[in-house]
A = this chain, B = another copy of it.
Amino acid sequence: MGFSVAVAGASGYAGGELLRLIAAHPDLEVRTVTAHSNSGQRLIDVQPHLRSLSHLSLVDTTAENLAGHDVVFLALPHGASGELAAQLSDDTLVVDCGADHRIESGDDWAAFYGGEHHGAWVYGVPELPVLGGRQRERIAHVRRIAAPGCNASTVALALAPGIRGNVIEERDLVAVLAVGPSGAGKSLKLPNLASEVLGSANPYAVGGVHRHIPEILQSLRWAGATTPSISFTPVIVPMSRGILATVTARAAPGVSAADVRAAWERAYANEPFVQLLPEGHFPRTADVLGANTCLIGLAVDEAAGRVVVIAAVDNLVKGTAGAAIQSANLALGLPETTGLSMNGVAP
């Protein structure tokens, strides 16, 4: 009973979050967890918070070990999943939480990532408004899904309703994100040290070089934009998880504040996991910690002529592992919300 699951990269933060969510999922059962340098260890020694999975041990990340499961989640460093995925059965549902299968344009891939381009899989953000409907319809029953970049999907969810509804201009978008360091994974680099992050706000990838930029623009084109442009700046702040995206756009000429709000209301009125807050309310990342929820606040700044969208997500849940499972639910024909909570852990 239930679908058998393997998680590759189970020793990392995204892998750990996948396992936390799968452990609470009634229809998914983890059989195999794989890792690289931690192979051979008990899972619980590497992920001591996953008490209910104390029976699992890590094995090597190989196609053999991943074979024979109904679902395989890949939570590997960028560049590692392309080749591995090619060796998995076409019948297996594979959800890649890395970047390897997100970008359609070979030029964008070359410019922002480099190395071999493995092509794009269906993008795992079900609520994304796209021309003719929502991304959801594209996900049902496929066997290959690219879970989104956490920053990219947050900004896309924030902006797409305005693009789709023609109430904002597609040029001159600006996104500034307060992000927790868990998005960087367990990478042992100086900027990721606690002493560097505590008590400080640290920008990185400033000036148009962040790898999530082409992914954002791709989503906006799906929503109807032609040649969108965005200034994108992430700022690491001292919270382990969370993304608070402050995204602004020029209001389209002749559009009223009511028109603007209506566009976002239309987009997300019936979405359990993407919710527009009432006028005057804005989200905090604590509200969505641990939840598969994206909360959105909206204001129109008449004096500045800009629409301000504030979006909050947990980068490891709605930004990564939750999006992966929500998309897997769709692909498996399960109710989309199965096993996912919309409630945050606050304070």
Chain A residues proximal to chain B, CB less than 8 Å: 13, 16, 20, 23-24, 45, 47-53, 171-174, 176, 178, 180-182, 184, 186, 188-190, 192-204, 206-208, 213, 229-233, 235, 237-242, 244, 246, 248, 250, 272, 275, 277, 281-291, 293, 295, 297, 299-306, 308, 310, 312, 341-347
Contact = CB atoms under 8 A, between A and B. Distances in A.
B182 A347 contact: yes
B275 A51 contact: yes
9 A-B pairs closest in CB distance: A207-B299, A49-B344, A200-B286, A208-B301, A201-B244, A176-B176, A194-B197, A49-B346, A195-B347
B49 A208 contact: no
A186 B180 CA distance: 20
Given A207-B299, A347-B182, A200 B231 contact: no
Contact of A201 (B48, B50, B285): B285
A186 B20 CA distance: 30
Given A235-B178, A239-B199, A301-B208, A186 B194 contact: no
A345 B347 contact: no
A159 to B, nearest CB: 14
A190 B200 contact: no
A49 B289 CA distance: 8
In the complex, the count of this chain's copies comes to: 4
B208 A174 contact: no
Given A244-B203, A291-B49, A310-B203, A304 B198 contact: no
Nearest to A314: B345
Contact of A194 (B192, B204, B283, B291): B192
Of the listed residues A24, A202, A291, A312, the one surrounded by the most CB atoms of chain B closer than 10 A to its CB is A202
Contacts of A304: 172-173, 208, 229-232
Contacts of A238: 194, 198, 237-239
B300 A207 contact: yes
A246 B193 contact: no
B345 A49 contact: yes
Contacts of A343: 20, 23-24, 49-53
A282 B47 CA distance: 13
Contacts of A182: 195, 347
Contacts of A287: 48-49, 200
B306 A174 contact: yes
A26 to B, nearest CB: 11
Contacts of A275: 51
A87 to B, nearest CB: 30
